[in-house]
Every structure is written in structure tokens, then in C-alpha cells.
Amino acid sequence: MSSALQIAEPPGLGYAGKNRLQPEDAAIHGWYRFVLGYPPHLVREYLHRLGANPAEDWVFDPFSGTATTPVEARLQGFSTLSADANRIAVLATRVKLAWDVDLDEVQRTLLDDVLPLACRCLHRVNLTPAPEEAQQLPLFESPLAFERSNGSAVNGFDPNALLPDKAAALIPKGFVSEKPLHRVLALKYAIDKVAGYATRDLMRLALANTIVTTAGNVGFGPEVYRLPPKRMLRACRIPMKRDTTDGVPAHP
């Protein structure tokens, strides 16, 4: 192999550093990853060491995880074939390899359809869309959200039916508190109800990411472990009024 083809490992890094996602790869690879994912520069290096040629070779990853190998191979111009035993890994691979998603459509569906419905679902089970003390944009509870949402789908929302005891028992104790879990379930319910096929998987994966990074109390290092429940930040929300006509809160 000629030296021109060699991809140098990131300079000045020890063993642990070499296995880390490098900043220049973060935008494409970093938004959904797990600890066992390969670093993209490793994939690049092996494709070159193997002398693989995008004009005639395919890259097959039967254990695709969160898709570093197929994503990096596609970036290098290879056709890819991927599989994994884990359904979330399959979802991550499918979403990270779908590069023609209309992001305006994703945003429109989220703001106009998903959030309003999730919001109504939570009020149905007497839960505010955001923790009382949470610091966040009032997006979830905007007046438009309530006006736009279709009330008929709300009646089907039942957190216990969405997460039967058998499934709930699989969640290790303390990994997610009940309220954030119900908020996640409301979002999942709304995504599944209103998002079209092209946008649904992307939203599901983004939600899965939120469970790990925001809603849940999960740490990695490298094993998975439980973190203490999150402390609330100072409130920054618009107060809501009750609209007595349909039992759904409305804004001033």
C-alpha cells in the first residue's frame, strides 16, 4: 500500500483518545452514538488499509450498532449493507443512512402536530408537559400548540398500555423517573400517531437520544450505570390558564 493512501491516526493521542470521536467527525457521527461505536477515523483507516475501492466493493457490517461503519463507508462513496440484532441499532442505522429527509417537513410536523398532541395527552393524565421548575422554551405549551392539536387522538393515550408491566420491568430501577418516562411515552405516542413514514423514524431516534441524554438518569463510563435524579433548574415558563370549555389548558 502506498504511503499516500495511509490515513494517520489522530496525532498526539493515547490509546483512549484514539478510540474517541474526533471533533471533525462529531456533526455527522455524534448525534446518536453509543459507547461501543467505532471511531470514524478507524473505519476510514481500515477501508484504506484493505485497499477497498468504492467503484467495485461494498461494505457489509452485520453488527452495525449506531452505524459508524456504514455511515463512514457511504461518505467514502461505498454502497453498504448493514444488520444488527438490536432493534434500536437497526433504527439508528436506518435513520443515519437516510440522507434525503426533508428537515423542514420534520420541523413542521413536530411543531404543528407532534408537540400539540403530546401536550394534550399529558394533560389528559394530569401531567404538565414540562416539569414545573424546568427551564425551557415555552414551545411545548404555546397557545398555537393547543389550538392546532386534534383532540380525538388524545383519548387513546394510556401510559400503562403503552408500557405494559412486562416491558416496564425491563427498565433498570432508577434509570428514568416516572414523570419523564410518561412525557417520553406521550411524545412517542404522538410521533407514532401523526408523523408520516419519512419523518417518523428520525423523530423516534431523536427521542431515544433524549431518553439517554435528558429524560433518563443514565451514565456511561464505559459500562452503563445509574446517575442520581436530575435537579430542576429555575423556572422560565409562561403561566397557563384553564379553558373550561374543553378541559384543556389555554394561554392568555
Ligand X SMILES: C[S@@+](CC[C@H](N)C(=O)[O-])C[C@H]1O[C@@H](n2cnc3c(N)ncnc32)[C@H](O)[C@@H]1O
Contact set with ligand X (CB under 6 A):
36-38, 61-65, 68-69, 84-86, 89
Work out how close the CB of 83 gets to ligand X at its nearest, in angstroms, rounded to a whole number. 6
Q: Which is closer to ligand X, CB of 72 or CB of 113? A: 72
Work out how close the CB of 127 gets to ligand X at its nearest, in angstroms, rounded to a whole number. 33
Measured between alpha carbons, how far is 30 from 201 in angstroms, rounded to an integer? Answer: 17
Measured between alpha carbons, how far is 69 from 41 in angstroms, rounded to an integer? Answer: 10
Q: Which is closer to ligand X, CB of 42 or CB of 248? A: 42
Work out how close the CB of 146 gets to ligand X at its nearest, in angstroms, rounded to a whole number. 40
Work out how close the CB of 82 gets to ligand X at its nearest, in angstroms, rounded to a whole number. 8
- Backbone phi and psi for residue 167, each to the nearest 5 degrees, phi listed first: -75, -40
Work out how close the CB of 16 gets to ligand X at its nearest, in angstroms, rounded to a whole number. 16
CB burial of residue 53 (10 Å; 0-12, 13-18, 19+): exposed
Q: Which is closer to ligand X, CB of 63 or CB of 225? A: 63
Q: How far is CA 28 from CA 50, 58, 59, 81, 96, in A?
A: 24, 21, 18, 19, 9
Decide the pairing of beta strands 79-82 and 58-61. parallel
Q: Which is closer to ligand X, CB of 69 or CB of 199? A: 69
DSSP state of 152: G
Q: Which is closer to ligand X, CB of 47 or CB of 186? A: 47
Is 157:189 a contact under the CB 8 Å cutoff? yes
